[in-house]
Amino acid sequence: MIKSLFFLALGFMFLSSSTSVEFGLQEFRMIAFSIVFISLLLVSFTRHPFINPANLELPIVLAWFLAIMAVLDLAGTMDPLDYKLVLPILAIAAAPHVGKAMAPGDLPAWLFSAFSVYILAVVILYLAGTGAAGPFAAATRIDPTGSVVSLASAGTITAVLATGEARRATGFRRIVPISMALLALAAIFATATRTAVATMVILGVLLLATSSNRSRQLRNLIGAGFILALLLAIHTIVFSDVYFLRLTGNNGDDYSSGRWHSLAHWLAVAADSPLGQGIGSVREIMLDGRPGLSGGRFLEWPHNEFVRFYVEGGIPGLMMISLLVGGMTVRALRSARKATDPRLRMLVLALAADMLAQSLLQNHFNMIYHSSMTMLILAMLTIPDARVSPRSGTADRLGKKDMNERGGSLCRTERNLPSMT
Protein backbone atom coordinates (compact mmCIF):
# COMPACT_ATOMS: atom_id res chain seq x y z
CA MET A 1 0.00 0.00 0.00
CA ILE A 2 2.83 2.41 0.88
CA LYS A 3 4.55 1.88 -2.45
CA SER A 4 1.25 2.32 -4.29
CA LEU A 5 0.59 5.64 -2.54
CA PHE A 6 4.16 6.76 -3.20
CA PHE A 7 4.03 6.12 -6.94
CA LEU A 8 0.49 7.47 -7.19
CA ALA A 9 1.70 10.72 -5.62
CA LEU A 10 4.73 10.66 -7.92
CA GLY A 11 2.38 10.41 -10.89
CA PHE A 12 0.97 13.87 -10.12
CA MET A 13 4.37 15.28 -11.14
CA PHE A 14 3.64 14.11 -14.67
CA LEU A 15 0.01 15.29 -14.94
CA SER A 16 -0.15 18.68 -16.61
CA SER A 17 -2.61 21.48 -16.02
CA SER A 18 -3.62 21.33 -19.69
CA THR A 19 -4.28 17.60 -19.56
CA SER A 20 -6.24 18.04 -16.33
CA VAL A 21 -8.42 20.65 -17.99
CA GLU A 22 -8.98 18.39 -21.02
CA PHE A 23 -10.34 15.62 -18.79
CA GLY A 24 -12.13 17.86 -16.27
CA LEU A 25 -9.71 17.12 -13.43
CA GLN A 26 -8.16 20.53 -12.85
CA GLU A 27 -10.32 21.66 -9.94
CA PHE A 28 -9.80 18.35 -8.13
CA ARG A 29 -6.09 17.91 -8.85
CA MET A 30 -4.71 19.82 -5.87
CA ILE A 31 -7.22 18.27 -3.48
CA ALA A 32 -6.57 14.77 -4.82
CA PHE A 33 -2.80 15.19 -4.58
CA SER A 34 -3.04 16.53 -1.03
CA ILE A 35 -5.18 13.55 0.03
CA VAL A 36 -2.81 11.01 -1.57
CA PHE A 37 0.34 12.73 -0.30
CA ILE A 38 -0.87 13.21 3.28
CA SER A 39 -2.24 9.64 3.31
CA LEU A 40 1.22 8.40 2.33
CA LEU A 41 2.79 10.29 5.21
CA LEU A 42 0.16 9.29 7.78
CA VAL A 43 0.04 5.60 6.87
CA SER A 44 3.83 5.45 6.96
CA PHE A 45 3.88 7.04 10.41
CA THR A 46 1.21 4.74 11.83
CA ARG A 47 3.16 1.71 10.65
CA HIS A 48 6.44 2.98 12.10
CA PRO A 49 5.60 5.49 14.86
CA PHE A 50 9.12 6.30 16.06
CA ILE A 51 10.49 9.76 16.80
CA ASN A 52 13.55 11.16 15.06
CA PRO A 53 14.49 14.34 17.00
CA ALA A 54 17.37 15.27 14.70
CA ASN A 55 15.11 15.10 11.65
CA LEU A 56 12.36 17.19 13.25
CA GLU A 57 14.51 20.23 14.05
CA LEU A 58 14.35 21.72 10.55
CA PRO A 59 10.63 21.17 9.83
CA ILE A 60 9.65 22.50 13.28
CA VAL A 61 11.55 25.76 12.70
CA LEU A 62 10.10 26.03 9.18
CA ALA A 63 6.58 25.45 10.52
CA TRP A 64 7.20 28.16 13.12
CA PHE A 65 8.10 30.68 10.42
CA LEU A 66 5.09 29.63 8.35
CA ALA A 67 2.86 30.15 11.39
CA ILE A 68 4.26 33.65 11.85
CA MET A 69 3.45 34.43 8.23
CA ALA A 70 -0.08 33.09 8.70
CA VAL A 71 -0.64 35.28 11.77
CA LEU A 72 0.59 38.34 9.88
CA ASP A 73 -1.77 37.42 7.04
CA LEU A 74 -4.89 37.14 9.22
CA ALA A 75 -5.93 40.69 8.43
CA GLY A 76 -5.86 39.95 4.70
CA THR A 77 -7.77 37.54 2.50
CA MET A 78 -6.00 34.36 3.57
CA ASP A 79 -6.50 31.40 1.24
CA PRO A 80 -5.47 28.01 2.73
CA LEU A 81 -4.40 26.78 -0.73
CA ASP A 82 -1.71 29.46 -0.78
CA TYR A 83 -0.09 27.67 2.17
CA LYS A 84 0.64 24.55 0.15
CA LEU A 85 4.30 24.95 1.14
CA VAL A 86 3.30 23.00 4.23
CA LEU A 87 3.44 19.82 2.10
CA PRO A 88 7.22 19.91 1.48
CA ILE A 89 7.72 20.73 5.16
CA LEU A 90 5.61 17.72 6.17
CA ALA A 91 7.62 15.65 3.69
CA ILE A 92 10.84 16.45 5.55
CA ALA A 93 9.27 15.52 8.89
CA ALA A 94 7.77 12.25 7.67
CA ALA A 95 10.64 11.12 5.42
CA PRO A 96 12.11 8.61 7.94
CA HIS A 97 8.74 6.90 8.29
CA VAL A 98 8.13 6.73 4.54
CA GLY A 99 11.63 5.42 3.95
CA LYS A 100 11.26 2.73 6.58
CA ALA A 101 7.81 1.75 5.33
CA MET A 102 9.16 1.32 1.80
CA ALA A 103 12.21 -0.69 2.87
CA PRO A 104 13.65 -3.04 1.80
CA GLY A 105 14.05 -2.01 -1.78
CA ASP A 106 16.20 -0.28 -4.36
CA LEU A 107 14.81 3.26 -4.41
CA PRO A 108 17.05 4.55 -7.25
CA ALA A 109 16.04 1.59 -9.44
CA TRP A 110 12.35 2.16 -8.67
CA LEU A 111 12.65 5.84 -9.51
CA PHE A 112 14.56 5.05 -12.69
CA SER A 113 11.70 2.82 -13.83
CA ALA A 114 9.05 5.43 -13.00
CA PHE A 115 10.85 8.34 -14.66
CA SER A 116 11.74 6.19 -17.67
CA VAL A 117 8.06 5.40 -18.24
CA TYR A 118 7.33 9.11 -18.13
CA ILE A 119 10.10 10.04 -20.59
CA LEU A 120 8.99 7.27 -22.95
CA ALA A 121 5.41 8.56 -22.73
CA VAL A 122 6.60 12.07 -23.61
CA VAL A 123 8.51 10.74 -26.63
CA ILE A 124 5.57 8.62 -27.81
CA LEU A 125 3.10 11.50 -27.45
CA TYR A 126 5.47 13.80 -29.32
CA LEU A 127 6.01 11.34 -32.16
CA ALA A 128 2.29 10.54 -32.33
CA GLY A 129 1.44 14.20 -32.88
CA THR A 130 -2.14 15.16 -33.63
CA GLY A 131 -2.74 11.95 -35.54
CA ALA A 132 -2.96 9.85 -32.38
CA ALA A 133 -6.26 8.13 -31.74
CA GLY A 134 -7.95 7.22 -28.50
CA PRO A 135 -8.80 9.11 -25.29
CA PHE A 136 -5.35 10.73 -25.05
CA ALA A 137 -5.45 12.29 -28.51
CA ALA A 138 -5.97 15.77 -27.06
CA ALA A 139 -2.93 15.38 -24.84
CA THR A 140 -0.65 14.87 -27.82
CA ARG A 141 -0.99 18.52 -28.79
CA ILE A 142 0.32 19.88 -25.52
CA ASP A 143 3.36 19.52 -23.30
CA PRO A 144 2.62 16.43 -21.17
CA THR A 145 4.19 18.15 -18.15
CA GLY A 146 2.31 21.41 -18.51
CA SER A 147 5.67 23.15 -18.16
CA VAL A 148 8.91 22.96 -20.08
CA VAL A 149 10.62 23.60 -16.74
CA SER A 150 9.05 20.50 -15.18
CA LEU A 151 9.93 18.42 -18.23
CA ALA A 152 13.55 19.60 -18.16
CA SER A 153 13.76 18.89 -14.44
CA ALA A 154 12.35 15.39 -14.85
CA GLY A 155 14.72 14.85 -17.77
CA THR A 156 17.71 15.83 -15.65
CA ILE A 157 16.70 13.47 -12.85
CA THR A 158 16.11 10.67 -15.37
CA ALA A 159 19.52 11.22 -16.98
CA VAL A 160 21.22 11.03 -13.58
CA LEU A 161 19.32 7.88 -12.60
CA ALA A 162 20.07 6.29 -15.98
CA THR A 163 23.76 7.09 -15.65
CA GLY A 164 23.85 5.38 -12.26
CA GLU A 165 22.10 2.29 -13.60
CA ALA A 166 24.43 2.16 -16.61
CA ARG A 167 27.49 2.26 -14.36
CA ARG A 168 26.13 -0.61 -12.31
CA ALA A 169 25.11 -2.77 -15.28
CA THR A 170 27.43 -4.82 -17.47
CA GLY A 171 27.50 -5.76 -21.13
CA PHE A 172 24.30 -5.45 -23.13
CA ARG A 173 22.35 -4.58 -19.96
CA ARG A 174 23.76 -1.08 -20.29
CA ILE A 175 21.84 -0.48 -23.51
CA VAL A 176 18.54 0.32 -21.77
CA PRO A 177 19.85 2.90 -19.25
CA ILE A 178 22.12 4.51 -21.85
CA SER A 179 19.17 4.78 -24.25
CA MET A 180 17.04 6.34 -21.52
CA ALA A 181 19.80 8.82 -20.70
CA LEU A 182 19.92 9.90 -24.35
CA LEU A 183 16.13 10.22 -24.55
CA ALA A 184 16.13 12.26 -21.33
CA LEU A 185 18.78 14.60 -22.73
CA ALA A 186 16.77 14.91 -25.94
CA ALA A 187 13.75 15.94 -23.85
CA ILE A 188 15.88 18.55 -22.06
CA PHE A 189 17.17 19.96 -25.36
CA ALA A 190 13.63 20.07 -26.73
CA THR A 191 12.45 22.23 -23.82
CA ALA A 192 15.14 24.83 -24.61
CA THR A 193 15.07 26.00 -21.00
CA ARG A 194 18.29 27.46 -19.65
CA THR A 195 17.42 26.40 -16.12
CA ALA A 196 18.53 22.89 -17.06
CA VAL A 197 22.02 24.21 -17.80
CA ALA A 198 22.07 25.97 -14.43
CA THR A 199 21.04 22.70 -12.76
CA MET A 200 23.90 20.82 -14.42
CA VAL A 201 26.43 23.51 -13.50
CA ILE A 202 25.29 23.46 -9.87
CA LEU A 203 25.41 19.66 -9.89
CA GLY A 204 29.00 19.81 -11.10
CA VAL A 205 29.92 22.23 -8.31
CA LEU A 206 28.27 20.01 -5.68
CA LEU A 207 30.00 16.90 -7.03
CA LEU A 208 33.34 18.68 -6.88
CA ALA A 209 32.68 19.98 -3.36
CA THR A 210 31.83 16.53 -1.98
CA SER A 211 34.46 14.50 -3.82
CA SER A 212 37.35 12.90 -1.93
CA ASN A 213 39.45 13.08 -5.12
CA ARG A 214 38.71 16.46 -6.67
CA SER A 215 41.28 16.28 -9.46
CA ARG A 216 39.73 13.04 -10.71
CA GLN A 217 36.23 14.45 -10.28
CA LEU A 218 37.21 17.55 -12.25
CA ARG A 219 38.49 15.41 -15.12
CA ASN A 220 35.23 13.44 -15.10
CA LEU A 221 33.21 16.65 -15.17
CA ILE A 222 35.23 18.04 -18.07
CA GLY A 223 34.67 14.80 -19.98
CA ALA A 224 30.94 14.86 -19.21
CA GLY A 225 30.75 18.50 -20.30
CA PHE A 226 32.44 17.66 -23.59
CA ILE A 227 29.95 14.84 -24.25
CA LEU A 228 26.99 17.11 -23.44
CA ALA A 229 28.35 19.83 -25.73
CA LEU A 230 28.78 17.28 -28.53
CA LEU A 231 25.22 15.99 -28.09
CA LEU A 232 23.88 19.55 -28.07
CA ALA A 233 25.78 20.28 -31.28
CA ILE A 234 24.26 17.21 -32.92
CA HIS A 235 20.79 18.25 -31.72
CA THR A 236 21.33 21.77 -33.06
CA ILE A 237 22.49 20.61 -36.49
CA VAL A 238 20.06 17.73 -37.00
CA PHE A 239 16.88 18.75 -35.15
CA SER A 240 16.57 22.34 -33.92
CA ASP A 241 18.77 25.33 -33.15
CA VAL A 242 16.30 26.93 -30.70
CA TYR A 243 18.18 25.82 -27.60
CA PHE A 244 21.52 26.98 -28.99
CA LEU A 245 20.07 30.38 -29.89
CA ARG A 246 18.54 30.77 -26.44
CA LEU A 247 21.80 29.84 -24.75
CA THR A 248 23.81 32.28 -26.84
CA GLY A 249 21.22 35.06 -26.70
CA ASN A 250 20.84 35.22 -30.49
CA ASN A 251 17.12 34.52 -30.57
CA GLY A 252 16.21 38.21 -30.60
CA ASP A 253 14.52 38.22 -27.18
CA ASP A 254 15.56 39.74 -23.87
CA TYR A 255 18.06 37.22 -22.48
CA SER A 256 16.49 37.42 -19.02
CA SER A 257 13.00 36.95 -20.54
CA GLY A 258 11.93 40.15 -18.80
CA ARG A 259 12.98 38.96 -15.37
CA TRP A 260 15.58 41.55 -14.43
CA HIS A 261 13.29 44.58 -14.53
CA SER A 262 10.54 42.50 -12.91
CA LEU A 263 12.83 41.46 -10.05
CA ALA A 264 13.72 45.11 -9.48
CA HIS A 265 10.01 45.92 -9.23
CA TRP A 266 9.29 43.06 -6.83
CA LEU A 267 12.23 43.99 -4.60
CA ALA A 268 10.92 47.56 -4.44
CA VAL A 269 7.51 46.23 -3.41
CA ALA A 270 9.12 44.05 -0.73
CA ALA A 271 11.16 46.96 0.63
CA ASP A 272 7.95 48.91 1.21
CA SER A 273 6.39 46.02 3.20
CA PRO A 274 8.99 44.36 5.48
CA LEU A 275 6.29 42.08 6.94
CA GLY A 276 5.08 41.01 3.52
CA GLN A 277 2.09 41.55 1.27
CA GLY A 278 0.50 38.26 2.32
CA ILE A 279 0.93 34.72 1.02
CA GLY A 280 -0.59 34.49 -2.45
CA SER A 281 -0.31 38.22 -3.14
CA VAL A 282 1.91 37.68 -6.20
CA ARG A 283 -0.70 35.35 -7.68
CA GLU A 284 -3.44 37.91 -7.03
CA ILE A 285 -1.43 40.68 -8.70
CA MET A 286 -0.82 38.51 -11.77
CA LEU A 287 -4.34 37.03 -11.84
CA ASP A 288 -5.71 39.37 -14.51
CA GLY A 289 -2.60 39.36 -16.67
CA ARG A 290 0.77 41.08 -16.58
CA PRO A 291 0.54 44.66 -15.30
CA GLY A 292 2.37 47.27 -17.35
CA LEU A 293 5.58 48.87 -16.17
CA SER A 294 7.45 51.95 -17.33
CA GLY A 295 9.17 51.82 -20.71
CA GLY A 296 6.47 49.68 -22.28
CA ARG A 297 7.54 46.61 -20.31
CA PHE A 298 5.31 44.14 -18.49
CA LEU A 299 5.62 42.64 -15.05
CA GLU A 300 6.62 38.97 -14.92
CA TRP A 301 6.43 36.45 -12.10
CA PRO A 302 9.45 36.81 -9.77
CA HIS A 303 10.94 33.51 -11.04
CA ASN A 304 12.95 33.49 -7.84
CA GLU A 305 11.53 31.90 -4.71
CA PHE A 306 13.64 34.02 -2.36
CA VAL A 307 12.23 37.19 -3.90
CA ARG A 308 8.68 35.80 -4.03
CA PHE A 309 8.64 34.82 -0.36
CA TYR A 310 10.27 38.12 0.54
CA VAL A 311 7.41 39.91 -1.22
CA GLU A 312 4.67 37.70 0.21
CA GLY A 313 6.04 36.86 3.65
CA GLY A 314 8.41 39.73 4.32
CA ILE A 315 11.51 39.07 6.40
CA PRO A 316 9.98 35.94 8.02
CA GLY A 317 9.23 34.55 4.55
CA LEU A 318 12.75 35.23 3.31
CA MET A 319 14.24 33.58 6.39
CA MET A 320 11.96 30.56 6.01
CA ILE A 321 12.75 29.87 2.35
CA SER A 322 16.46 30.46 2.95
CA LEU A 323 16.42 27.98 5.82
CA LEU A 324 14.43 25.44 3.81
CA VAL A 325 16.65 25.49 0.72
CA GLY A 326 19.88 26.02 2.64
CA GLY A 327 19.11 23.39 5.26
CA MET A 328 18.29 20.70 2.72
CA THR A 329 21.36 21.60 0.67
CA VAL A 330 23.58 21.15 3.73
CA ARG A 331 21.94 17.79 4.41
CA ALA A 332 22.55 16.75 0.82
CA LEU A 333 26.23 17.70 1.00
CA ARG A 334 26.74 15.78 4.25
CA SER A 335 24.92 12.75 2.91
CA ALA A 336 26.85 12.78 -0.37
CA ARG A 337 30.18 12.85 1.44
CA LYS A 338 29.28 9.72 3.40
CA ALA A 339 27.27 7.80 0.80
CA THR A 340 28.67 4.37 -0.07
CA ASP A 341 26.46 3.92 -3.15
CA PRO A 342 27.50 6.15 -6.12
CA ARG A 343 23.92 6.12 -7.43
CA LEU A 344 22.58 7.55 -4.18
CA ARG A 345 25.31 10.19 -4.10
CA MET A 346 24.48 11.33 -7.62
CA LEU A 347 20.73 11.28 -6.97
CA VAL A 348 21.02 13.28 -3.74
CA LEU A 349 23.18 15.95 -5.36
CA ALA A 350 21.00 16.06 -8.49
CA LEU A 351 17.90 16.68 -6.38
CA ALA A 352 19.72 19.37 -4.41
CA ALA A 353 20.97 21.01 -7.62
CA ASP A 354 17.46 20.90 -9.09
CA MET A 355 16.03 22.50 -5.94
CA LEU A 356 18.65 25.28 -6.00
CA ALA A 357 18.29 26.03 -9.70
CA GLN A 358 14.49 25.97 -9.62
CA SER A 359 14.40 28.17 -6.51
CA LEU A 360 16.78 30.73 -8.02
CA LEU A 361 15.37 30.83 -11.55
CA GLN A 362 11.80 29.48 -11.41
CA ASN A 363 8.76 29.14 -9.14
CA HIS A 364 9.83 25.85 -7.54
CA PHE A 365 7.44 25.73 -4.59
CA ASN A 366 4.57 26.95 -6.73
CA MET A 367 4.98 23.69 -8.70
CA ILE A 368 3.83 21.91 -5.57
CA TYR A 369 3.49 18.42 -7.06
CA HIS A 370 7.07 18.51 -8.26
CA SER A 371 8.58 20.21 -5.21
CA SER A 372 6.72 18.04 -2.66
CA MET A 373 7.78 14.73 -4.20
CA THR A 374 11.37 15.72 -4.92
CA MET A 375 11.63 17.11 -1.38
CA LEU A 376 10.29 13.85 0.05
CA ILE A 377 12.80 11.78 -1.93
CA LEU A 378 15.66 14.10 -0.98
CA ALA A 379 14.66 13.99 2.68
CA MET A 380 14.40 10.18 2.59
CA LEU A 381 17.97 9.99 1.33
CA THR A 382 19.40 12.50 3.80
CA ILE A 383 17.96 11.38 7.14
CA PRO A 384 20.16 12.60 10.02
CA ASP A 385 22.20 10.06 11.99
CA ALA A 386 20.39 10.44 15.29
CA ARG A 387 17.12 8.53 15.36
CA VAL A 388 14.99 6.63 17.85
CA SER A 389 14.27 2.95 17.51
CA PRO A 390 10.53 2.18 17.45
CA ARG A 391 11.08 -0.80 19.75
CA SER A 392 13.71 0.23 22.24
CA GLY A 393 13.10 3.99 22.18
CA THR A 394 16.84 4.59 22.42
CA ALA A 395 18.99 6.61 20.07
CA ASP A 396 20.76 4.65 17.40
CA ARG A 397 23.86 6.36 16.06
CA LEU A 398 25.50 4.51 13.21
CA GLY A 399 29.26 4.95 13.05
CA LYS A 400 31.32 4.84 9.93
CA LYS A 401 32.38 1.26 10.53
CA ASP A 402 28.80 0.14 11.10
CA MET A 403 27.67 1.91 7.95
CA ASN A 404 30.31 0.12 5.89
CA GLU A 405 29.34 -3.22 7.37
CA ARG A 406 25.62 -2.78 7.01
CA GLY A 407 25.61 -0.66 3.82
CA GLY A 408 24.45 2.91 4.37
CA SER A 409 21.92 2.66 1.60
CA LEU A 410 18.20 2.28 1.03
CA CYS A 411 19.14 -0.60 -1.23
CA ARG A 412 19.90 -2.93 1.71
CA THR A 413 17.47 -4.76 4.00
CA GLU A 414 17.64 -3.40 7.56
CA ARG A 415 15.53 -3.62 10.70
CA ASN A 416 15.94 0.13 11.06
CA LEU A 417 16.29 2.47 8.09
CA PRO A 418 20.02 3.10 7.54
CA SER A 419 21.24 6.66 7.85
CA MET A 420 22.33 8.34 4.65
CA THR A 421 24.39 10.96 6.46
pLDDT (mean) for 72-80: 73
Distance CA 417, CA 99 (A): 7
Residue 419 resides in a domain: no
Q: Choose among 4, 363, 317: nearest CA to 149.
A: 363
Is residue 373 predicted with pLDDT exceeding 70?
A: yes
Is residue 262 predicted with pLDDT exceeding 90?
A: no
pLDDT (mean) for 373-397: 65
pLDDT (mean) for 270-281: 87
Give the model's pLDDT for residue 252. Answer: 56
pLDDT digits (tens, 9 = 90+) for 101-138: 988 888 999 999 999 999 998 888 777 653 333 333 33
Residues 161 and 187 sit within 8 Å (Cβ to Cβ): no
For residues 419 and 77, the model is more confident at 77
pLDDT digits (tens, 9 = 90+) for 24-40: 777 788 889 999 999 99
Identity at 12, one-letter amino acid code = F
Q: How confident is the model at residue 261 (pLDDT cuts 50, 70, 90)?
A: confident
Residue 412 resides in a domain: no
Q: Choose among 103, 119, 168, 100: nearest CA to 347.
A: 168
**Average pLDDT taken over every residue of the chain:** 82
The domain tally of the chain equals 1
At residue 307, the 3 state secondary structure works out as: helix
Task: Kindly report whether the peptide bond that precedes residue 177 is cis, defined as omega within 30 degrees of 0.
Answer: no
pTM assigned to the model: 0.85
Give the model's pLDDT for residue 130. Answer: 39
Give the model's pLDDT for residue 398. Answer: 35
Residue 417 resides in a domain: no
pLDDT digits (tens, 9 = 90+) for 213-248: 999 999 999 999 999 999 999 988 988 888 888 888
Residue 54 resides in a domain: yes
Domain range spanning residue 21?
2-406
